[in-house]
Structure 1
């Protein structure tokens, strides 16, 4: 096998599996670990894979630059609409407390909240707060702190201190990535700290994330997969990913109605 052929095969394997170790790749292609490391260096430089300690992950699995709310809002919009509609099945009937994390999918969940359902809603999202402020049945609590322009979310110690005093019935959490090994993750450390506090504050955690987030790993992990009660995603999630998550105790709900 020529080096170029081996490198293409290595890239295909890592992308399919989500991660592979140097030793695993060396055994698979009957070459030395030094050869594998050289191959990974070539693939990393080409932007196909990212080298990590002991192996490699797909380039798409690590993101340090976040797209803005406007860009994310139009990405996979139909899937997010279906997820938001399915999330209403988990919304308490009356008199409950709900945490709404910042995010374009959770914004859609906020838009689906019935105007006649008495709820206490806590959020760190400026757009969600603006949307729910005029809903008469919602008692809105807005977390303070510095607002990140890219996500329009309040972050920092002020928000975390308040969250640490709360216990809510249900939290709808957004995430940039979800995997068994790295849990829920996001690119920003401050955003991760607030999300972590939200997960701690909730009796029941529902993650709302389209299937493109599944199997990915981002910079900062803010919760282990075992902290997730339910994942609401779309029908494009693979059978393998669904099985792996279910084996970890996560209920996986696939929102239908998407072509």
Structure 2
């Protein structure tokens, strides 16, 4: 199960985009190696020991890592980044993916369901110039983003708030998605592979997003290349449920071919 980050994580990890990206990369390095020294981090990031100590202190204070003598090690699962750090990564690719998804949505009289995530939020930004769209979402971030545009109707699910992703999950959210019919579901993911399907780190979130996909006429998965070929803990959708995958050219070409062979339209943005 993913680490349960506190609601103060978003504020605590705030700061410059450069620092947020570095801390996200530090978490990746620790997750991959289990434990790293300050010397290794300095070589990886070309940053001073003092800067890295400050970063490690913030991450340790939030329970994301454990400080060791001369470095740091993983604290539980580091699979799921806090939302404050996710928004700083692969920004150019995510913008291209979002634009490619938005042009596939009819410009009026269409219902679109969006799961939470930074890439799906990018799609929502691209949809604000559409007319008479109904946006159905369990994401507080997305609902807040589109609420000020009068031509967009917003339907929020109920549910329990996950502070890691700012999404509403559980039976109330599932019930809302099950009660509506949508033309297109836009689904973010932590992993997409031909063998494991479309996956995420949290099993409750996976059930909620599965309910969204099950009532959609078509499902578009939006995921940057780092997610392709990966499998996270919980399955949201089978590959057979997916109409289109929109990703970028950093994705593993062999895995993309396996997805095409499984019947998924693959679009490189």
Q: Taking structure 1 as reference, are residues 197 and 171 closer, same or farther at Cα in structure 2, changes over 3 Å only?
A: same
CA distance in 2, matches of 1:161, 1:181: 29
Aligned residue number for residue 13 of structure 2: none
* Larger CA Rg, structure 1 vs 2: 1
Q: Taking structure 1 as reference, are residues 202 and 239 closer, same or farther at Cα in structure 2, changes over 3 Å only?
A: same
How much does 1:209 deviate? 0.2
Contact persistence 2:128–2:146 (CA under 8 A)? no
- Within-5 A mapping of 1:201-220: 201-220=215-234
How much does 1:230 deviate? 0.2
CA distance in 1, matches of 2:161, 2:240: 29
Selected match of 1:85 from 77, 82, 99? 99
Contact persistence 2:159–2:168 (CA under 8 A)? yes
Aligned residue number for residue 118 of structure 2: 104
Q: Runs of at least 4 residues of structure 1 off by over 2 A?
A: 45-48
Selected match of 2:173 from 146, 159, 163? 159
Q: What value does the CA root-mean-square deviation take over the aligned residues? A: 1.7
Aligned residue pair count = 197
Aligned residue number for residue 132 of structure 2: 118
* Runs of 5+ unmatched residues, structure 2: 1-31, 36-76
CA distance in 2, matches of 1:249, 1:65: 29
- Within-5 A mapping of 1:38-77: 65-77=79-91
Contact persistence 2:128–2:152 (CA under 8 A)? no
Q: Secondary structure at the match of 1:163?
A: helix
CA distance in 2, matches of 1:149, 1:70: 11
CA distance in 1, matches of 2:130, 2:226: 34
Selected match of 1:239 from 253, 257, 264? 253
- Within-5 A mapping of 1:190-205: 190-205=204-219
TM-score by length of 2: 0.70
TM-score by length of 1: 0.73
Q: Per-residue displacement from partner, 1:74-132 (whole Å, max 9, x unpaired)? A: 11111101101111221112101000110000011111113352101100000100011
